Amino acid sequence: MKTVTVKASKIYDVQIAGGLLSAAGESLTKLFPAPRKVMLITDDTVRALWGDRLIATLKDVGYTVSEFVFPHGESSKTAATIVSMWEALAKENLTRTDFVAALGGGVVGDMAGFAAATYLRGIPFVQFPTTLLAMVDSSVGGKTGADLAVGKNLIGAFHQPSAVFCDTDTLSTLPDNIFADGCAEVIKYGYINDPELLELLKKPFADAPDEIIARCVSDKRDLVEADERDTGARQLLNLGHTAGHAVEALSDFTISHGCAVAIGMVLMAKAAVTAGLCEADVPAHIEAMLKAYHLPTKCPYGAAELAQVALSDKKRKGGSITLVLPDRVGNSRLHPVPADSLTEFFEGGLK
């Protein structure tokens, strides 16, 4: 088992190994001695696959378990679903000494964490990510939230988990396209500041899954510890996301998050080259890596429509928006641009 310790406003461990769901009850009693109540929050797909295993181990150690299960998918990531979670927590009379267990991918973790952050002004929660994307990204760092009609993650709170358990056995049930989504976020870390990860990714992922996941979590841990509230260095984690979120929204979420981020990384690299901010070989390097992991690289939308959506993104600050741009293979920087120049900048990435 690999363990990465995050020392943010709350100190917690991220454990990475197979079989963690079956041993979760015993592990959690070290943080939350039984008896106490647990609200399991998950979606219908994950509940059918892994819910019984987690519930059994929680009950075995003396927890009282209730459930909130919602339809899977980004379309459920709404304020209405959050309200329903609050009502369920209140109905079960959870208190500040009880906790929420989030079992699922990024949508589950983001919303369960937001519900926990805001119910009774904050109760503990633990993350059981079941997708590669959630393991390497959304389950770590304390960003929680939901979408509004005009954009992703526009409501939310910073609320660090008490623990994260990445049971790599759950990767065995992922459809190929969902696994590929996670690979986009894995690859992202390499181009932010980890060229050694890019070398590791030249070999099959299956050769070292725990090592790759732990390396990504460590990379994110370092940025979170340096900038927990996302005002500086942590924004590097948005590589590919400004354009990517716009691609998601314009597709009405028929293009998945990972695929959109992949498209966004290529677009931003090409735009950075056009603007003289990036070495010329970077876009081709990124494209080759993404194609090796069966991810798209071509953007189906125009610069003006991308910019219109991107300018409603939470990364905008007044009259400017901060972009994350690669400048060479294995390194990226923050680059603020005027909001009214974003269309022109995107045009440089679509040539």
Q: Which long-range contacts (CB under 8 A, 24 or more apart) does 257-261 make?
A: 257/74, 257/106, 257/133, 257/181, 257/184, 258/133, 258/180, 258/181, 258/182, 258/183, 258/184, 258/185, 258/295, 259/180, 259/181, 259/184, 259/295, 259/296, 261/184, 261/185, 261/188
Q: Are residues 39 and 104 in the same domain?
A: yes
Tokens of 245: 């979120």
The domain boundary residue, chosen from 128, 152, 173: 173
Are 127 and 211 members of one domain? no
Has residue 205 got a pLDDT over 90?
A: yes
**What is the phi/psi pair of residue 145, to 5°?**
160, -170
Q: What is the DSSP string of 179-228?
A: HHHHHHHHHHHHHHH-HHHHHHTTS-GGGSHHHHHHHHHHHHHHHHHH-T
160 pLDDT above the threshold of 80: yes
pLDDT greater at residue 151 or residue 118: 118
> For 249-302, what is each residue's pLDDT tens digit?
999 989 999 999 999 999 999 999 999 999 999 999 999 999 999 999 999 999
Per-residue pLDDT, averaged over 10-18, amounts to 98
**Residue 228: other Cβ atoms inside 10 A:** 19
Residue 64 and residue 26 share a domain: yes
**CATH code, domain with 318:** 1.20.1090.10
* Percent of the chain scoring above 70 in pLDDT: 99
Residues 326 and 237 in one domain: yes
- For residue 321, give its domain range: 176-349
CA separation for the pair 134, 328 (Å, rounded): 27
- Quote the pLDDT of residue 318: 74
- Is the pLDDT assigned to residue 314 strictly greater than 70? no
Q: Do residues 164 and 197 share a domain? A: no
Domain endpoint, select from 157, 173, 189 = 173
* 203 shares a domain with 75: no
189 Cβ contact partners less than 8 Å away, ≥ 6 residues apart: 136, 197, 215, 216, 219, 220
Model pLDDT, residue 330 = 97
pLDDT in tens, 41-94: 999 999 999 999 999 999 999 999 999 999 999 999 999 999 999 999 999 999
Whether residues 115 and 98 share a domain: the answer is yes
Q: Do 144 and 221 have their domain in common?
A: no
List CB contacts of 279: < 8 A, sequence separation 6 or more.
273, 327, 328, 329
Q: CA-CA distances (angstroms) from residue 102 to 61, 97, 114?
A: 18, 17, 11
- State yes or no: pLDDT of 317 exceeds 90: no
pLDDT-derived band of residue 151, with 50, 70 and 90 as boundaries? Answer: confident
Closest CA to 129 of 30, 5, 20, 208: 20
The answer to whether residue 240 scores a pLDDT higher than 70 is: yes
Q: Which of 104, 139, 173 is the last residue of a domain?
A: 173
- Whether residue 51 is found in the same domain as residue 7: yes
Instruction: For residues 109 and 168, state if they share a domain.
Output: yes
Range in 14-23, 206-215, 305-314 with the lowest mean pLDDT? 305-314
Q: Read off the pLDDT band of 111 (50, 70, 90).
A: very high
Residues 187 and 124 grouped into a single domain:
no
pLDDT for res 82: 98
Considering the entire predicted model, what is its pTM? 0.94
CATH number, domain of 66, equals 3.40.50.1970
> Residue 150: its pLDDT value, please?
84
Cα–Cα dist 351/348, whole Å: 6
| pLDDT 10s digits, 15-51 | 999 999 999 999 999 999 999 999 999 999 999 999 9
Do 155 and 125 have their domain in common? yes
Contact, 114 vs 157, CB < 8 A?
yes
Total domains in the fold of the chain: 2
